Structure formats: C-alpha cells, structure tokens
Amino acid sequence: MGPFAIAATVFAVLSLSYQLHGHGEKVERGLTVNGCDLFQGSWVYDESYPLYQSSSCSFIQNQFDCLKNGRPDKDYLKYRWQPTTCNLSRFDGEDMLSRIRGKSIMFVGDSLSLNQWQSLTCMLHTAVPHAQYKTITVQGLSTFTFLEYNAKVMFSRNAFLVDLVSLPIGRVLKLDSIEEGAKLWKGIDVLIFNTWHWWLHTGRKQPWDFIEEGNHTQVDMDRLVAYEKGLNTWAKWVDANVNTSKTTVFFQGVSPDHIK
C-alpha cells in the first residue's frame, strides 16, 4: 500500500461518517463541522497507528503490500489527518458499519481507488473480525458485503470515467460518452471517484488507439485538454443523474505516483 493510502482512506471515511449521520455536530456544505473546515490541516505522526496490519488482511493484493514486498520502514503507516481547528474522532469500524447498514459505497477509478477500497475493507474487517462477509468480482466490479449489516463496499475499475470502447478501427476513448460505467453508479449511496494517471500514458501503456469527441476522431490531442473534456462529461452526468439528498459524491484530486 503506497504512502498515506491508509491514512487518506481514514480521512475520507471519517469525513463520510460525518456526512452520513454526523456525531451530533452541525455539518455544513463543504465538510465544515461546527465551523471547522475538515480539509484544512496537516498529516501528523501517531504512534498508535496503523489501524490494521497488512499481514493479517488477506484482501490486499500482493503488489500493493509494501511490507511483504520488502519495504524496511513502517513510519509511513503512522500518519493521521489532523484538522487545524478541531479533532476528528478515531476511526471506529463497528460504528461505521452500523451507520452504513443497508447502504453501498463504491470506489470508481484506477489503482488509487483500488488501494483505498482494499484498505477500507481491511479496516472494517479488523474491527469486526468474526462478522460474516462475501466477496465477489464480476467484469471489473468487486463487491465486499458484510452480511450482518447488509453493507456493501465496492470497487469499479474505470481509469477514465468516460467510455473506452472497442470498435472495428481500434480502441476508442470517447470524451463525451459515459454510458457504460454510469450503469453501475445509479442507486449507490456513496460514490468516490478518481481519474488522472492513465490520461498521460503513451506508447505500449496507452490503452486507447483513438480519441473521439462528437463526430471527430483523432489519434491524439493535448492530454490536459482531453482530461478536462472527460471531467466535464463526468461532472455533467453527476449533475443530471445524482440526487445529492440521497447520494454523496466525492472526487479525489490528483495524487503522487503510488507505485514504482
């Protein structure tokens, strides 16, 4: 698991906990709790972390298990987010499962979202180690269900959010189409999106042959322009299709590389 992946997951989840029910505090737009902006703060070292041991969690894929792959230090696991003007409650997995009973959380994106999905399932399972669960992966959608709580934590592999389709001419990235992935997003209680790194790949790592916008198809274009157009398509879909009184949407900003 890359540096801060666990800590970032904790912060996102704690923020989510406030949005779902709060802790008796007044929650305002922009994740401000009683006048405290949860996004203003810093990462602080905490000797009591991490919240789980990767060696005891079988849900982490081998390539993301830093300790198993020989990383000698562990200090990177001991950071937590500290808002400037208030304190966040320590993560309580059993409490969170009670809060999301009957609900579904879906991470949508690339391996950054995969990291956070795996980390969250480990955090929750560590809190209730004897709880029955079911895990299944079908066509890129992984679902981890805590049966007693009927709570689902899901991951949809979708590096661009917009459609990437196979056509007779080759693989086409459609900047103004979002039909395929969006079929999975409707009805989810919490959606957490990320996209960035795959937009920059070239050569053999580039997963498309053509870029399409409207009726215009081209081999390539400025990647930042393509990224902006894709995000605009995603944002318009969210505005048109998500009832924000029922569904909470997060978008993760651009992160540093988390693999070598």
In this predicted model, what pLDDT tens digit does every residue of 154-203 receive, in sequence order? 999 999 999 999 999 999 999 999 998 899 999 999 999 999 999 999 99
Phi, psi of 256 (to 5 degrees): -65, 165
- So what's the pLDDT on residue 54? 82
Q: Is residue 256 part of a domain?
A: no
Count up the domains in the chain and report the number: 1
% of the chain surpassing 90 pLDDT: 65
Confidence band, pLDDT 50/70/90 cuts, at residue 39: confident
Structural domain harbouring 89? 5-251
Whether residue 33 lies inside any domain: the answer is yes
- Whether residue 69 lies inside any domain: the answer is yes
Domain membership flag for residue 260: no
As a whole number, the mean pLDDT across the chain is: 87
Are residues 52 and 60 in contact, defined by beta-carbon separation less than 8 angstroms? no
- Within-domain flag for 259: no
Residue 16 lies in a domain: yes
pTM of the full predicted structure? 0.85
Q: How confident is the model at residue 13 (pLDDT cuts 50, 70, 90)?
A: low
> What pLDDT does residue 24 have?
47
**Is the predicted pLDDT of residue 132 greater than 50, yes or no?**
yes
Indicate whether 189 belongs to any domain: yes
Residue 257 in domain: no
Query: Which one is predicted more confidently, 138 or 23?
Result: 138
